[in-house]
Amino acid sequence: MPMGTSSFTILGGCILIVWLFSGEFLRRRDGYLKEVWLYPVLAIIVLTWLGLIWSPDPSGLGLKYAKKTHYWLYALALAGTGFNKNPSENLIRAFLVGLLLNSLVAYLQVGNIVPRFSEWGSTRYTGFYGGYNTLAILLVLGMMTASFYFRVVVSKKERLIYASIMLVYFIHLIILEGRGGYLIFALLSPIIIYNLLYGKRLHYTFLVYVIAMGIMLSSPIVHHRVSKVIEALQQHLNADGDVTTGKRYSKYIDRIYMWRWAIALFIKHPLIGVGTGGYKKAILLEGGDKGIAHPHNNILHVAVSFGILGLFVFGWLFWTLLKAGWQHRQSSTGFFILASSLVILIGGLTDTHILDAGGLFLLALTTGLLSVLPKREFVEDIQGSDL
């Protein structure tokens, strides 16, 4: 995943072809047909396609978003793999290694040794990745996962390795231009610090948190991005009333416009929303001056598209993920599920990651990994494994 969208799209497609045409999807159907997560996933798929019926744009964005439900096949394929010895452990390690390699490529881009592949932003230190929003949540997820291993391993050498990996991810985060990533790290870094200082008193955690935030804000790139947000907010508040309230589009902070219209449309269509992909056209039909594909917020996207019904299904899935992850947080797989669910939820405050290829792929794989938990020891003997 950390190596860019094209790689997991191509390889994921090949895996699905093998899974379907080999007959594994039938032979190993017990791997997903009896899972508690299957019902909210099926509800999401059905609701998304039914939403085309009342969407004002069924053949445009509606169909485009409905086609994205094919990503849930990855959850089914992963659940139906048939886990033997440490396959989920290997997946998690592969994720960490891929993320590490991508960060090292980003460092080479800083030195102009490797070309910059992203078209977004001014610095574009994203490694092989095409953007920075999804990459930012992957970096925080990587830090959280590495902090878990740091806590459970015994040898100083292994702890040094995981501490170094976290440092590489952290430096990459603070040279990215993803403001959402800074927010995710600010809210979830206490979990990372807790794992690093396991058994220490609370005031040590607070002290390290303050230091971490200070280091992050000392980055010229982070400082510039945060300063621009503050400046844009001041300009937005000084604009005329309709712009300030978000009724008219603002070139300063466009998310206020997006969120305002999402809330207004949800209030007008509270039960089933405006339908799949209907947000953009619904804004224009209600008098908005600019149509935008989605509100850059997971919860608001679900609310405006599918109303209270959609919020229930969305909450059902994430409750299932968070509950399972929390119950089995002492295992590497359980902690990864918990951390992944949290970064998608928190990251979804400023971006609609459940519409992005990377975000949907991560959510589908995280959901499929739930099938590992009932089939193996929940509290793994990490210390005895060949990390």
Residue with more model confidence, 320 or 11: 320
- pTM here is 0.91
| Of the candidates 303, 295, 296, 299, the residue with the CA atom closest to the CA atom of residue 269 | 303
Q: Is 326 helix (H, G, I), strand (E, B) or coil?
A: helix
Q: Which DSSP category does 42 fall into? A: H
CA angle 366, 368, 374 (to 5 degrees): 105
118-127 contacts: CB < 8 A, separation 24 or more? 120/177, 121/177, 122/177, 123/175, 123/177, 123/221, 125/172, 125/175, 125/176, 126/176, 127/2, 127/3, 127/4, 127/101, 127/102, 127/103, 127/172
Give me the DSSP letters along 45-74.
Answer: HHHHHHTTTT-S-IIIIIHHHHHGGGGHHH
Say which residue, 63 or 129, is predicted with more confidence.
63
Mean pLDDT of 113-135: 86
For residue 205, name the pLDDT band (cuts at 50, 70, 90).
confident
Question: 23, exposed or middle or buried, with CB in 10 Å at 0-12, 13-18, 19+?
Answer: exposed
- Domain ranges for the chain: 35-232+292-384
pLDDT at position 374: 57
Provide the CB-side half-sphere exposure for 281 (13 A, CA).
16
C-alpha span between 333 and 325 (Å, rounded): 8
Q: From its phi and psi, is residue 331 left (phi > 0), alpha (psi between -120 and 50) or beta?
A: beta
Record the tokens describing residue 51, joined without a space. Answer: 């939403």
In the chain, DSSP assigns E strands to none
Report the half-sphere exposure of 194 (CA within 13 A, side-chain side): 8
The predicted-structure confidence for 212-232, as pLDDT tens digits, reads as follows: 999 999 999 999 999 988 888
| C-alpha–C-alpha distance, residues 333 and 90, integer Å | 10
| 382: pLDDT strictly greater than 70 | no
- Asked whether residue 7 carries a pLDDT value surpassing 90, the answer given is no
The confidence band for 118, taking pLDDT boundaries of 50, 70 and 90, is: confident
Place of tokens 């793999």: 81
Of the two residues 198 and 310, the one the predictor is more confident about is: 310
What percent of the chain clears pLDDT 90, i.e. is strictly above it? 64
pLDDT, tens digit, for every residue of 256-297? 999 999 999 999 999 999 999 999 999 999 998 899 999 999
Counting DSSP H helices and E strands in the chain, the numbers are: 18, 0
Please say whether the beta carbons of 174 and 220 come within 8 A. Answer: no
Structure tokens at 181: 């990533």
For residues 380 and 231, which has the higher predicted lDDT (pLDDT)? 231
